[in-house]
Amino acid sequence: MSIGNSPEDERPFEDERVEEDREEARPSIGRAIQQARIAAGLTVDDISSATRVRMNIVHAIEADDFTACGGDVYARGHIRTLAKAVQLDPAPLLAQYGDEHGGRPAPTPAAPLFEAERIRPERRGPNWTAAMVAAIVAVIGFVGFTMFQGNDGANEANVAEGSTPGDSASPTTKTKKPADRKPEASDSAIAAAPQDKVTVQVAAVDGRSWIAVKDHNGRMIFDGVLKQGDTKTFQDSSKVHLVLGDAGAIDLFVNGKKIKDDFQPGAVERLTYTKGDPEAG
């Protein structure tokens, strides 16, 4: 009869080895999530975008490092979220996490959270009443300014948008021409006009008038109202286009010479001058 362990004595060791083999056959939590993610054809970036779990935490969990989660409660939440994202049942993974990390976490004491909330400074909202009062004051000021400027602005807008030559509106009544009209261009001014350019001088002598001026390329040089007594001079290499809202209020000098056309009060005139004018008309 041999001295040694009986077959019955060997069985506990065999059971332990079987249990160890089962443990080794079961993948870790991180490995299971990683394999399911890869099988689903998803990247870590895809999982992070879908679950709102930061990429560094996803990488850490797949490496079975749960320290970046910030505690057991957050670790369990991340495991549940990631498992659902890769079509895994989270229950076995959570049970495995409990076995490996000491069961369910203890509840967080309520007192510290209450104290932290109690001493948190109160946030003050914006003073909407003051903002509303300021807005009302600004609106009232704008309306008053608009009413004060209304008459002058309306008249100026009407002149600026003036009608075309075929309009049937009656011309504005003109006041008598002042006695001290501006003198016509002198001989020195005529001599000073460049011969290689077209020079047009517009003078509002009998009232205000809207005028628009374009160069030979059709680019707008001036668009506005000349008040009585104002004078504007324009030059171009070959051609100047004019629109006069009230031609009767305007004196024109082209290349240093006065234009003798008899413009009527309130008439809208469209004119073009070149280097050869006023002879070219």
- Residue 21's pLDDT band (boundaries 50, 70, 90)? low
Residue 128 vs residue 157, higher pLDDT: 128
Half-sphere exposure of 241 (CA within 13 A, CB side): 11
CA angle, 209 then 210 then 214, to 5°: 130
Q: With a cut of 90, say whether residue 169 has pLDDT above it.
A: no
- Residue 163's pLDDT band (boundaries 50, 70, 90)? very low
What share of the chain has pLDDT > 70, as a percent?
A: 64
pLDDT at residue number 102: 72
Q: What is the pLDDT of residues 123-156, one digit of tens each?
A: 556 677 777 888 888 888 777 776 756 555 444 4
Closest CA to 249 of 239, 263, 237, 235: 263
Q: With a cut of 70, say whether residue 115 has pLDDT above it.
A: no
d(CA 187, CA 173): 34
Residue 147 vs residue 238, higher pLDDT: 238
C-beta of residue 236 within 8 angstroms of C-beta of residue 273:
no
For the chain, report the end-to-end CA distance as a whole number of angstroms. Answer: 145
- Residue 2's pLDDT band (boundaries 50, 70, 90)? very low
For range 73-94, the mean pLDDT = 93
Mean per-residue pLDDT of the chain: 75
Q: What is the pLDDT of residues 256-270, one digit of tens each?
A: 888 887 888 888 999
Q: What is the pLDDT of residues 41-80, one digit of tens each?
A: 999 999 999 999 999 999 999 999 999 898 899 999 999 9
